[in-house]
């Protein structure tokens, strides 16, 4: 007979009750049945586990050894069972989601949806200006998903076994102060901003080159370029020192105006990436759906974008 967990539970019950009769009552067994099982356990372990007399049952030295091990093993197994149940009842068997993102409109809405739909599944986030860094973290198993952006049709950073899903494609708009002379226009020719300074947030893609190319096609070379954090970009726009380039989902404040650029010479694709062999990949389809809903909400919140999108339906959230 092989020793089983139920055998250790019997030994523990007899020791804690102090007699076979009391242990049988607690376990819901007949006393003769428990006595027979205890004898089989003792034969398996090679000796008597209890000294039994009319005063009860006391562990022998061998019994003390078995009890010491049982009192470690049984709680550990119970903890394992409880953890396994939590794991199995979490979202598709996944214990949590670790999501990394560059600056964009999707992360907040995605976290909101995941935590509302699956409140027992932890969600953690991290941010970086670098798409390559986030891709490397997913590839190394330190993140489950990456939300990044790429300029136009530029492919995402290459990494082994990465899968990418397009969430949506947005035009890049110009962000002006409300007092700017061009703030009342419906759309702007890029060339009309030739004499402006420009403010952009940092990144490691080709956006700067794509912007320079668009300006060249419009017949000018950009003047001063301020590459800085978002808050500083907005300050420079508000005080009239620069025009900012922004995703069309940008949420406006009262002193700013977001202007479409004629012909949408710059585009920004939102991508969700994951490692094909990861546990989280099992939920990729559902996470992609939540990400698209979050992007669609961001589009609807942007009145200038929603109006522009009615005339340019090939942009926006991927169906």
Residues 6 or more apart whose Cβ sits within 8 Å of residue 184: none
Question: What is the span of the domain harbouring residue 34?
Answer: 5-89
The confidence score (pLDDT) of residue 117 equals 86
- pLDDT, tens digit, for every residue of 229-276? 989 999 999 999 999 999 999 988 889 999 999 999 999 999 999 999
Average pLDDT score over residue span 193-203: 91
The pLDDT of residue 201 is above 90:
no
- Please check whether residues 163 and 281 belong to one and the same domain: yes
- pLDDT, tens digit, for every residue of 53-75? 888 899 999 999 999 999 999 99
Sign of CA pseudo-dihedral 75, 78, 82, 88:
positive
The pLDDT of residue 87 is above 70:
no
User: What burial class does residue 116 get, using C-beta atoms within 10 Å of its C-beta: 0-12 exposed, 13-18 middle, 19+ buried?
Assistant: exposed
Domain CATH number, residue 187 = 3.40.190.290
- Please check whether residues 77 and 110 belong to one and the same domain: no
Is the pTM for the entire model greater than 0.75?
A: no
- Please check whether residues 117 and 263 belong to one and the same domain: yes
- Please check whether residues 109 and 178 belong to one and the same domain: yes
The pLDDT of residue 209 is above 80:
yes
- Please check whether residues 215 and 259 belong to one and the same domain: yes
- Please check whether residues 79 and 197 belong to one and the same domain: no
The confidence score (pLDDT) of residue 81 equals 80
- Please check whether residues 275 and 158 belong to one and the same domain: yes
- Please check whether residues 171 and 48 belong to one and the same domain: no
The confidence score (pLDDT) of residue 13 equals 93
Split at pLDDT 50, 70, 90, the class of 92 is low
> What is the distance between the terminal CA atoms of the chain, rounded to a whole angstrom?
61
Average pLDDT score over residue span 22-51: 90
- Residue where a domain terminates, one of 59, 89, 119: 89
Q: Please check whether residue 249 is in contact with residue 103, taking contact to mean a CB–CB distance below 8 angstroms.
A: no
- Residue where a domain terminates, one of 89, 113, 144: 89
The confidence score (pLDDT) of residue 119 equals 86
The confidence score (pLDDT) of residue 94 equals 79
- Please check whether residues 128 and 269 belong to one and the same domain: yes
In angstroms, the Cα distances linking 151 to 128, 139, 194, 204 are 17, 22, 21, 11
- Please check whether residues 184 and 250 belong to one and the same domain: yes
Domain CATH number, residue 45 = 1.10.10.10
The pLDDT of residue 86 is above 80:
no
Highest mean pLDDT among 91-95, 115-119, 287-291: 287-291
The confidence score (pLDDT) of residue 155 equals 92
- Please check whether residues 235 and 196 belong to one and the same domain: yes
Q: What is the total count of domains within the chain?
A: 2
The pLDDT of residue 90 is above 60:
no
Average pLDDT score over residue span 145-167: 92
The confidence score (pLDDT) of residue 101 equals 96
Mean per-residue pLDDT over the chain, rounded: 90
- Please check whether residues 164 and 184 belong to one and the same domain: yes
Q: What percent of the chain has pLDDT over 90?
A: 67
Split at pLDDT 50, 70, 90, the class of 176 is very high
Average pLDDT score over residue span 284-307: 93
Q: Please check whether residue 119 is in contact with residue 72, taking contact to mean a CB–CB distance below 8 angstroms.
A: no
- Residue where a domain terminates, one of 89, 115, 144: 89
């Amino acid at each position: 007979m092989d020793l089983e967990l139920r055998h250790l539970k019997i030994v523990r019950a007899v020791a804690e009750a102090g007699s076979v009769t009391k242990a049988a009552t607690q376990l819901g067994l007949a006393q003769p049945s428990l006595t027979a099982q205890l004898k089989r356990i003792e034969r398996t372990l090679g000796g008597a586990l209890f000294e039994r007399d009319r005063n009860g049952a006391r562990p022998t030295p061998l019994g003390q050894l078995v009890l010491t091990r049982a009192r470690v093993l049984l709680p550990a197994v119970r903890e394992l069972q409880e953890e396994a149940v939590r794991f199995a009842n979490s979202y598709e068997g996944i214990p949590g989601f670790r999501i990394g993102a560059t600056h964009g409109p999707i992360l907040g809405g995605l976290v909101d949806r995941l935590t509302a739909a699956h409140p027992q599944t932890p969600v953690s986030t991290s941010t970086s200006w670098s798409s390559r860094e986030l891709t490397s973290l997913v590839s190394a198993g330190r993140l489950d998903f990456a939300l990044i952006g790429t300029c136009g049709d530029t492919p995402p950073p290459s990494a082994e076994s990465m899968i990418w899903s397009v969430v949506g494609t947005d035009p890049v708009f110009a962000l002006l102060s409300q007092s700017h002379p061009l703030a009342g226009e419906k759309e702007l020719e890029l060339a009309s901003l030739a004499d402006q300074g420009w403010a952009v947030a940092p990144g490691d893609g080709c956006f700067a080159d794509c912007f320079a190319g668009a300006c060249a096609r419009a017949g000018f070379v950009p003047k001063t370029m301020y590459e800085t954090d978002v808050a500083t970009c907005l300050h420079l726009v508000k005080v009239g020192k620069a025009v900012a380039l922004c995703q069309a989902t940008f949420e406006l404040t009262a002193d700013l105006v977001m202007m479409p650029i004629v012909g949408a010479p710059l585009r920004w694709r939102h991508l969700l990436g994951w490692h094909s062999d990861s546990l989280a990949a099992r939920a990729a389809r559902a996470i992609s759906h939540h990400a698209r809903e979050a992007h669609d909400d961001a589009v609807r919140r942007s009145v200038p974008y929603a109006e522009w999108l009615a005339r340019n339906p090939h942009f926006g959230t991927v169906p």
